[in-house]
Copies of this chain bind each other. A is one copy, B any other.
Amino acid sequence: MNPITVIRERIAKFGLDGVLFNTSEVTRSFNLRYISGFSGSDATILITMSELRLFTDGRYKLQSKEECKDFQVHVTRDKIRSISNLLLRKNIKRLGLEGNRISFNLVSALQRSCRDIELVSFDRRNLDSLRIRKDRSEIEKIVCAANIASSACSDLLETSLSGFTEIEIAGRLEFLFKKRGASGESFETIVASGSRSALPHGMPTEKRVQLGELLIVDFGCMFSNYCSDETVTLVVGAPSSQQKKIHQVVYDAHQRALDCLEAGIRCCDVDAVARKTIAEAGYGQYFLHSLGHGVGLEVHEAPYLSPRSKTILEEGMVFTIEPGIYVEGFGGVRLESLVHLTASGPEILSKVSKGLISVD
């Protein structure tokens, strides 16, 4: 559904006169970008039942007119005054806000200039649904991002990794993203080796990768503003029996979660399938996070495949399946695939094998 239609439904449902989104260098609003098309770093949009307005400064004069054709653009040096004047003129008394991305300063300034205004924060769930199902053009961009990232990783795995630092390996992978046309990474690439692989978010360090170690590489790139996300776990040299065993458990959890995916299943039930597999193998206490999360303009967005989420998976959703086992002092294994749920089941967008990969 058109995002503006969704927002207007919310305006009616909550008895609002309008909704305001703000993006700045300090706090970006991906909803603002999604709704308006604006890709710059400073703008405010106001949506009412009859109007679409965008306020920005001179730097974005041309760009905003090109990107935001549905919006009436105000180029202004005093954004607060321009917005306040419009709010007063249109008699807007009850205004919805993206409460976790609107600053205290902006709210205070609006309240100073529009004394009667009531500001209402949207619950996150009320906006999450906006971007939760992807349309064809979004899917195409995510597929491109996923293909670039997988292909770059496959290339990386054909070279020798032993003896290189984690930071060097991350740098090499990111270079391969850009060489294939990605605009950058969708998050800081995770490269964690040896006992560091037991850290679910181990940032790359100067540590050199050594023979016999587990190596987790969690990576994603950006293509046309959309993200990808995938994780592989490698062994440098020949795997030990314990490495093989833990990998097999995670592999089974990953596979069973994929196998149960279909439109209509709840997020918590998919999480439970993977969690049960790991628990039955005796590693329940070592699976430290949720099974997965949605991916789109942001690398973490709805749906959230957590033990608590009752959200129902639907056609058009794109999310990760990423079980892991992390044993302090020994190391960890995480396997992550990006999935697009279609009417006929899951389409796996990640292309690197999730088998136990041995590299030099």
Contact = CB atoms under 8 A, between A and B. Distances in A.
A204 interface: yes
* Interface residue range, chain A: 35 or more
Given A27-B26, A121-B104, A204 B175 contact: no
A97 B179 CA distance: 44
Contacts of A103: 27, 99-104
Number of copies of this chain in the oligomer? 2
Nearest to A40: B201
Contacts of A188: 184
A25 to B, nearest CB: 8
Interface in A154-181: 165, 167-168, 170-172, 174-175, 177-179, 181
Nearest to A184: B188
A49 interface: no
Interface of A: 24-27, 97, 99-108, 119, 121, 165, 167-168, 170-172, 174-175, 177-179, 181-184, 188, 203-204, 206, 300
B167 A178 contact: yes
23 contacts: A26-B27, A26-B100, A26-B101, A27-B27, A27-B101, A27-B103, A99-B103, A99-B105, A99-B108, A100-B103, A100-B104, A103-B103, A108-B121, A167-B183, A168-B179, A170-B178, A171-B174, A171-B177, A171-B178, A171-B179, A174-B174, A175-B175, A183-B204
Contacts of A174: 171, 174-175, 178
A32 to B, nearest CB: 13
Contacts of A121: 104-105, 108
